[in-house]
Amino acid sequence: MRQVSLPLAGALIIGLLMLLADRMVRLLDTTLGKKNSFSVVFEMLAYLVPHYLGTALPAALFLGLLLGFGKMSANSETDAFMASGIGLNRMARPVILMGVAISLISLVIMGWLQPYARYAYRSVVFDVQNVEVFYLAEEGVFMQAGDRTFIIDKLNRATNAFEHVFIYENKDDKGSDTVTASRGRLLESPAGQRPTLHLEDGHRLTFKAAPDVNSADPAIGEATEFALADTPLGRISKDIFRPRGEDERELTLPELFAALDNPPPKSSHDDVSSELSERLVTAASILILPYLAIPFAVGSRRSARGFRTGVALVLIVVYNEIIHQGASLSNHGVASPFLTMWLPCLLLALFAAWRYIGTCFTLRNDPVGGLIDRVGDFFGGLRHSVVRRLGWGTTS
């Protein structure tokens, strides 16, 4: 368990960090990437954890099994166990139970946590996209909000007051507006609709048309002063984010079963059936992983272990892609989920069972393992030949 758990935990942590780091860059761009928007970014990342965990957990388990049993096999620990009467099947019992536990955990994550987290994430995205950028403003930083560019010198978030603001609004062919003000405040609307930007002691420069660089006549602007000026901001409306369950990805497993006969407004029976099958197939596939990984991990000391591990990882990636593409075909009503997802799952289970039984309960040579070793030896010999021809392996 320790041999498998350590690489499993390492792969899970590294995988999650890589997936979240990639999304974090895009979220920072969505929320303008300022210091005061970090809390929003981390909230959105927290809602994405169940989604990525559903992907990373099976992959981490498979990699942990390959590395754990591969290390024991390379160190002849499996040979010592079998010499003492403990076979591979008995050694595999703890990790098979681990696979059952992780399958149940994944079922809970995909069946309940992911739908609620996905809805919460979409709700936050809605709030971020519909809130005026002044709420995310940072002192001394130029920021972009649609056609508006602005910078604030001093900002007091407790009172929504600011000093020395510059606002430039590009209206394309209709010209532009440039506003400066000594101070101002962001006033909340009592009805929770569009807030108001209250400016004091300012100047406005307005151009009625966009300047023409090819024209000999300079653009003429209109400059005005104002003591007070109020302007509505943003796209905040009285509408709140919709209720959960608009599409099948926001439904829990019991809700998906119930929605087979009554799909959500923006989904069809094929969408619901495909989503339900994909979640159940993913959970069922985790149960197969111990039986699939152990025959790839163990072998003779002369076998190409690195090549075996690579082939096993390619196999699981291809299988995962087949399931995703099968879900897409089922979504569009091209084929039944039983053909596009359950059949590949059954074939993988039969292949894993055949290899597992041959490795643990028979003395015959593993034809798949032998073929992989021969291909690995061929590529290894080819690599050594190329290295010798290029002189990279010689020392002076």
**DSSP for 257-278, written as a single string:** HHHTSS--TT--HHHHHHHHHH
* CA–CA separation, 274 and 329 (whole Å): 9
Amino acid identity, residue 118? R
Which residues are bridge partners to 231 per DSSP?
197
Q: How far apart are CA 300 and CA 372, in angstroms?
A: 13
Residue 21's contacts (CB-CB under 8 Å, 6 or more residues apart) are none
Torsion, Cα of 361, 366, 372, 378 (10° steps): 140
Judge contact between 303 and 369, C-beta under 8 A: yes
Cα 267 from chain centroid (whole Å): 23
Per-residue tokens: 349: 């289970």
Count CB-CB contacts under 10 A for residue 240: 10
Distance between CA atoms of residues 289 and 348, nearest Å: 10
- Using the structure block, give the residue that is written with the tokens 């000026």: 229
pLDDT tens track, the chain, 396 positions: 889 999 999 999 999 999 998 888 888 776 654 445 677 888 889 999 999 999 999 999 999 999 999 999 888 898 899 899 999 999 999 999 999 999 999 999 999 999 999 999 988 877 776 555 565 667 888 877 667 788 888 888 777 788 998 988 888 778 888 999 999 887 766 554 556 778 999 999 998 887 776 776 777 788 999 898 887 665 444 445 678 888 899 999 999 999 998 998 889 999 999 999 999 999 999 999 999 999 999 876 555 677 888 899 999 999 999 999 999 999 998 999 999 999 999 999 999 999 999 999 987 788 888 888 788 778 777 877 888 888 775 554
Contact 177, 168 (CB under 8 A): yes
Strand-pair partners of 150: 143, 167
Element spanning 60, H or E: helix 38-74
